[in-house]
């Protein structure tokens, strides 16, 4: 068995914002670092991010600061967030954005030359640093440029550009390798040749993004098959918060070939409004009790807010995403939807055409090219789309370390930071803050290692046999199994969930697991997408089982988890995390775990009245003791 082998200190799996920032940090701390990515280098979800990166720099409204950002993030996540992560994120995001600027990022500016910041749902002040509606592209461009700058430095010092940081693009990792309890590397294959590769490394940082391809209607692209979530589980790490999935309220609904593609929240942040088929601006009917005092109750007040935020409350189109997605769902169900099954999002009557083209160039182009709609002249039709998973690898907030020694995770593949619902813009800043921390965590772990773990040949052989198994087997077509999984998750574990439906989904998933073990891919190992999908299916089914099991257990509605049979938030459930693990990948078990109480200096940032909406009586008694 001839397998290519590479030895590194740190292997970062994923080249989106989290992976690149982690790799830069590990290299800056003197570690030999590999960046491995399934897609082309530069093609990650981070590139698609439109709206911006949330950071309380206070450039547009000087009242903004980390404490306001922390409060908004906790409210958005309905207080289920890992508060330490939310604190680090709010405090460090501005430095990470300024650092990007120092590395060459060209953000849009305010009139007085500062980095401009835009409004977004759930953020009290304009907070998203942006580059038009192409922020993710600039973020990735800048991080890639930084990688190249480090490689140029390495050439000067070592005579080899790739001495300390090397990119392995179009290379998919299918198994993590361990030596006893500790990580010792990863096993994967090259997409083009189908040849196998082993990475020998004591530390692995997972930065593989999300799981959207388990759903039919999604804003995510082909590589979001939950690989990192599954790799972590199979290596013995835990996943938390897997029941919380963000359905972005505004995906394209027409034509069918583009259903799910994202319509950025910036459209609403910049003044766009949602209307039903009666022409009603319906969001005013859907302001939930916990947000009543923070949102405008009339159109006039909502409109005034765009120019005078000190004296008016924000319009309800800018409620957190879970609220807006549920409202759109309800309008369509009540028969007040648009002709193609969504609702109308109108910016054409709100801003001059030239302003729309300047602020939202990608949206203008996207609708013109894909739907033949001119958004400067007519409304868009939009509906919810599976967008982001709040759940992921349970990590230490400060270092990104998972439960398995040597394993780290950052970005969308990690869990905790966003609680039950992520605020828009908080992902790009999360990638930078926790990517850096995971890179540093991995470097510190290596420095403290007494001996280097070894790659165990038997495990390499098992991974090799597992990857080869579907090839040439006369089993079921992997595309059929994938389609059934997507439909099942979409229809039975979607925006609104019921116990019977989720149980039914679990029965289907159980059968799909068996079918996945028998799928066959025709053809050879050379660039064979059917074979790649057959391998990915193991991950999608495993992760879908986590989502469905946790969704069935959580008997309340909170953020990205809405139970038709348990419509309200329950403070007792707020304290509980559902932790998924597996023995051997054949099934998932879920255990409840109580979250630690919020640190005193953080809980004191909230008013007592607000806390009573989220906390248990016991926690309120604790709070009264602290507040005295």
The residues annotated as belonging to the active site are 248, 268
Minimum Å distance from CB 484 to ligand FAD? 22
Nearer to ligand FAD by C-beta: 266 or 329? 266
Shortest CB 40 distance to ligand FAD, Å: 8
As a whole number of angstroms, the distance between CA 247 and CA 295 comes to 21
Q: How far apart are CA 416 and CA 590, in angstroms?
A: 16
Contact in structure between 48 and 42 (CB atoms under 8 Å): no
CB of 92 to ligand FAD, least distance (A): 15
Closest CB to ligand FAD belongs to which residue?
A: 16
Closest CA to 516 of 542, 490, 551: 542
CB 360, CB 264: distance < 8 Å:
yes
Nearer Cβ to ligand FAD, position 24 or 615?
Answer: 24
Longest distance between any two alpha carbons in the chain, whole Å: 71
* DSSP letter (8 states) at residue 282: G
In angstroms, give the least distance from the CB of 551 to ligand FAD. 21
Q: Where are the beta strands (DSSP E) in 108-194?
A: 117-118, 128-129, 165-169, 171-179, 182-190
Query: In this complex, which beta carbon is closest to ligand FAD, that of residue 426 or of residue 582?
Result: 426
Secondary-structure breakdown of the chain: helix, strand, coil percentages, each rounded to the nearest 5:
40, 20, 40
Q: Contact residues for ligand FAD (CB under 6 A)?
A: 13-19, 36-39, 44-46, 48-52, 135-136, 172-173, 207-209, 219-220, 223, 227-228, 262, 388, 411-413, 424-428, 431
Q: How far is the CB of 261 from ligand FAD (least distance, A)?
A: 7
> How far is Cα 413 from Cα 393, in angstroms, rounded to an integer?
6
Question: Considering beta carbons, is residue 136 or 494 the nearer one to ligand FAD?
Answer: 136
With respect to ligand FAD, which residue has the nearer C-beta, 170 or 504?
Answer: 170
What is the full DSSP assignment across 567-603?
A: -S--HHHHTEEEEEEESSSS-EEEEEEEPPPPPHHHH
What is the smallest separation between the CB atom of 181 and ligand FAD, expressed in angstroms?
Answer: 22
Q: Which is nearer to ligand FAD, 219 or 557 (CB)?
A: 219
Rounded-to-integer distance, Cα 116 and Cα 118, Å: 7
What residues contact residue 192 under an 8 Å CB cut-off, 6+ apart? Answer: 170, 526, 527
Ramachandran area for residue 228 (φ above 0: left; ψ -120 to 50: alpha; else beta) = alpha
């Amino acid at each position: 068995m001839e397998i290519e082998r590479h030895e590194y200190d740190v292997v970062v799996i994923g080249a989106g914002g989290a992976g690149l920032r982690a790799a830069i940090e590990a290299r800056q701390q003197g570690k030999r670092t590999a960046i491995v990515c399934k897609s082309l280098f530069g093609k990650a979800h981070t590139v698609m991010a439109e709206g911006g990166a949330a950071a309380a720099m206070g450039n547009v409204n000087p009242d903004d600061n980390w404490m306001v950002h922390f409060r908004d993030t906790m409210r958005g996540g309905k207080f289920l967030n890992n508060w330490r992560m939310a604190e680090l994120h709010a405090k460090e995001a501005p430095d990470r954005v300024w650092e990007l600027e120092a590395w060459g990022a060209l953000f849009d500016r305010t009139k007085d030359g500062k980095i401009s910041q835009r409004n977004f749902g759930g953020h009290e002040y304009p907070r998203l640093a942006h580059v038009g509606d192409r922020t993710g592209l600039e973020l990735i461009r800048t991080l890639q440029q930084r990688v190249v700058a480090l490689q140029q430095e390495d050439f000067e010092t070592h005579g080899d550009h790739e001495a300390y940081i090397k990119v392995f693009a179009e290379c998919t990792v299918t198994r993590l390798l361990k030596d006893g309890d500790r990580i010792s590397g990863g096993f994967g294959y090259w997409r083009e040749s189908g040849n196998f590769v082993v990475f020998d490394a004591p530390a692995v940082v997972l930065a593989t993004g999300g799981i959207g391809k388990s759903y039919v209607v999604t804003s995510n692209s082909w590589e979001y098959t939950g690989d990192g979530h599954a790799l972590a589980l199979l290596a013995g790490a835990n996943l938390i918060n897997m029941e919380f999935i963000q359905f972005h309220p505004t995906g394209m609904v027409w034509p069918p070939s583009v259903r799910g593609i994202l319509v950025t929240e910036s459209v609403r942040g910049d003044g766009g409004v949602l209307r039903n088929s009666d022409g009603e601006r319906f969001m005013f009917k859907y302001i939930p009790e916990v947000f009543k005092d923070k949102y405008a109750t009339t159109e006039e007040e909502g409109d005034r807010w765009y120019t005078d935020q000190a004296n008016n409350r924000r319009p309800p189109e800018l409620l957190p995403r879970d609220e807006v997605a549920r409202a759109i769902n309800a309008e369509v169900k009540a028969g007040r939807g648009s002709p193609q099954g969504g609702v109308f999002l109108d910016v054409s009557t709100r801003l001059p055409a030239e302003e729309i083209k300047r602020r939202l160039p990608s949206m203008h182009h996207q609708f013109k090219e894909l739907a033949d709609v001119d958004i400067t002249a007519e409304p868009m039709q939009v509906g919810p789309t599976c967008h982001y998973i709040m759940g992921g690898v349970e990590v230490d907030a400060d270092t990104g370390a998972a439960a398995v020694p040597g394993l780290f995770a950052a970005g969308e593949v990690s869990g905790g930071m966003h609680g039950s619902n992520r605020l828009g813009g908080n992902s790009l800043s999360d990638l930078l803050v926790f990517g850096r921390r995971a890179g540093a965590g991995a470097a510190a772990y290596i420095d403290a290692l007494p001996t280097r773990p070894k790659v165990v040949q038997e495990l390499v052989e098992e991974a090799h046999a597992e990857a080869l198994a579907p090839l040439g087997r006369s089993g079921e077509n992997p595309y059929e199994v994938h389609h059934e999984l997507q439909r099942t998750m979409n229809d039975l574990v979607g925006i609104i969930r019921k116990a019977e439906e989720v149980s039914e989904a679990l029965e289907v998933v159980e059968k799909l697991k068996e079918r996945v073990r028998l799928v066959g891919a025709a053809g050879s190992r050379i660039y064979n997408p059917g074979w790649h999908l057959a391998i990915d299916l193991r991950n999608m089914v495993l992760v879908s089982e986590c989502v469905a099991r946790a969704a069935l257990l959580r008997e309340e509605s909170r953020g990205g988890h809405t139970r038709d049979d348990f419509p309200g938030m329950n403070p007792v459930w707020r304290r509980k995390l559902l932790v998924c693990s597996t023995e051997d990948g054949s099934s998932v078990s879920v255990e409840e775990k109580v979250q630690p109480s919020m640190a005193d200096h953080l809980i004191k940032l909230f008013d007592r009245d607000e806390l009573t909406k989220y906390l248990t009586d016991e926690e309120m008694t604790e709070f009264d003791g602290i507040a005295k």
